[in-house]
């Protein structure tokens, strides 16, 4: 699978400056991740817990979990409703998967909450939301994580949908760093308003990030990363990424980079850049119509290689 990127992609066929360059201020952080001590072990590279999945969406947490590993964190654990745990574990033998109690609709049930919070205790980063659906216990889960998890909590997809239903005054005192990774539709749900013009949406997203004291990644063509003060657009990637599951890959990847010690703002920017480069590599080898999120995962090692060179 990986070989086809090595042989087909334009990066390895000698074209000049094939990718938009990584912003200079990220180079030192990126190279710290590439340089591994000979006596290192997996726990040097952080532990990420992915919380997600529901009866019809086993793939989303699996993609996020695989992106944690391709993003070079040492260990990933994935917590899903129990009925889909064997399916998620079947994606790759390196995944550690926990099945938690579910409700009648195939979402996490209220009885899952204590178990999920206990699993979070040993994680450096929690990624919550991919494929989680819209069950009745999920707003409570997201509120409790928001208020109690002392390190980075990254909310994506249905984690964001749950957040959108919470009164903002209950989000004022998070216990740790917070990151949100909405696409434009999810961003509008968070804002509770329709905003179809991209520049106006970016301005509202920036103000929202400032209000919540969070890093926000507004995905799409030229993804915006903002912490409410600093605004940076990502230059890599392209329309081949407009396919199901690529956002799940991004959330796991950013979680992995943060678990290795990058600041949330650095992790979001480097993650968006690597994800975009992997998307360009997959597109070059397979075409935009032909590529899938799994191909973006498979191209991530070559994106790391692009960074190393
Ligand atoms: N294999 C799996 O398990 C997978 C599971 N997945 C899981 O599916 C769940 C639903 O997530 P979702 O993002 O697909 O749908 P949803 O939250 O309803 O938002 C879509 C609505 O928003 C709007 N919209 C506006 N701008 C937009 C934009 N830039 N990008 C996208 N949409 C945009 C758009 O409206 P439109 O613009 O078309 O009018 C549309 O109506 C979630 O749990 C996710 O993790 C996926 O990850 C795939 C793989
Ligand atoms: N036209 C595009 N150009 C560049 N990147 C894109 C484009 N369309 C989608 N993407 C990227 O693909 C990913 C899609 O995420 P998301 O909408 O959450 O998908 P999913 O929920 O199916 O995983 C984001 O990283 C987004 O920036
Ligand atoms: Mg998504």
Ligand 1 pocket test, pick from 131, 164, 185, 188 with the greatest ligand atom count within 8 Å of Cβ, gives: 185
User: Mean of the pLDDT values across residues 131-138?
Assistant: 96
Q: Is the CB of 250 under 6 A from ligand 2?
A: yes
Mapped onto helix, strand or coil, the DSSP state of residue 181 is coil
pLDDT for 136-156, tens place per residue?
A: 999 999 999 999 999 999 999
Tally of structural domains, the chain = 1
Q: Tell me if 141 is assigned to some domain.
A: yes
Mapped onto helix, strand or coil, the DSSP state of residue 272 is helix
pLDDT for 50-98, tens place per residue?
A: 999 999 999 999 999 999 999 999 999 999 999 999 999 999 999 999 9
Mean pLDDT over each residue of the chain, to the nearest integer:
94
Q: Which two tokens stand for residue 306?
A: 């692009």
Residue 8 reports pLDDT greater than 80: no
pLDDT at 50: 99
User: Mean of the pLDDT values across residues 157-178?
Assistant: 95
CA of 41 to the centre of ligand 3 (A): 32
**Contacts (Cβ under 8 Å, ≥6 apart) of 137:** 103, 107, 108, 109, 110, 112, 113
Q: Tell me if 17 is assigned to some domain.
A: no
Q: Tell me if 18 is assigned to some domain.
A: no
Q: Tell me if 101 is assigned to some domain.
A: yes
β-bridge partners, 153: 126, 178
Write the DSSP symbol of residue 208: H
pLDDT at 18: 75
Residues for the chain: how many in total? 309
Q: What is the ipTM of this complex?
A: 0.98
Alpha-carbon torsion (283, 286, 290, 293), positive or negative: negative
Residue span of the structural domain in which 292 resides: 43-304
Residue 306 reports pLDDT greater than 60: yes
CA distance 6 to 285: 9
Ligand 1 pocket test, pick from 55, 158, 186 with the greatest ligand atom count within 8 Å of Cβ, gives: 186
CA distance 103 to 81: 9
pLDDT at 4: 55
User: Mean of the pLDDT values across residues 238-250?
Assistant: 98
Instruction: Say which CATH number the domain at 293 has.
Output: 3.40.1190.20
pTM for the model = 0.96
CA distance 114 to 117: 5
């Amino acid at each position: 699978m990986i070989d086809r990127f090595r042989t087909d992609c334009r990066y390895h066929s000698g074209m000049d400056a094939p990718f938009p360059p990584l912003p200079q201020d990220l180079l030192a952080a990126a190279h710290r991740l590439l340089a591994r001590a000979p006596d290192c072990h997996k726990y040097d590279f952080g532990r990420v817990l992915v919380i997600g999945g529901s009866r019809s969406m086993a793939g989303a947490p699996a993609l996020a979990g695989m992106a944690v590993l391709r993003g070079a964190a040492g260990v990933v654990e994935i917590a899903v409703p129990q009925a889909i745990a064997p399916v998620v574990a079947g994606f790759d033998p390196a995944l550690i998967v926990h099945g938690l109690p579910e409700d009648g609709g195939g979402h996490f049930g209220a009885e899952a909450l204590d178990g999920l919070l206990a699993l979070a205790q040993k994680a450096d980063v929690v990624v919550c939301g991919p494929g989680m659906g819209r069950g009745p216990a999920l707003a409570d889960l997201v509120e409790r994580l928001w208020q109690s998890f002392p390190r980075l909590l990254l909310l994506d997809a249905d984690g964001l949908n749950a957040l959108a239903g919470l009164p903002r005054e209950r989000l004022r005192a998070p216990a740790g760093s917070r990151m949100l990774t909405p696409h434009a539709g999810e961003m509008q749900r968070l804002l509770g308003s329709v905003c179809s013009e991209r520049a106006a949406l970016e301005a509202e997203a920036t103000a929202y990030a400032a209000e919540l004291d969070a890093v926000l990644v507004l995905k799409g063509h030229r993804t915006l990363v903002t912490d409410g003060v600093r605004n940076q657009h990502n230059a890599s990637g392209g329309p081949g990424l407009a396919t199901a599951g690529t956002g799940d890959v991004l959330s796991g990847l950013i979680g992995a980079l943060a678990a290795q010690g990058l600041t949330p703002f650095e992790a979001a920017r480097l993650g968006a850049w690597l994800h975009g480069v992997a998307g360009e590599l997959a597109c070059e080898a397979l075409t935009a119509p032909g590529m899938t999120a799994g191909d973006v995962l498979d191209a991530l090692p070559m994106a790391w290689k692009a960074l190393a060179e």
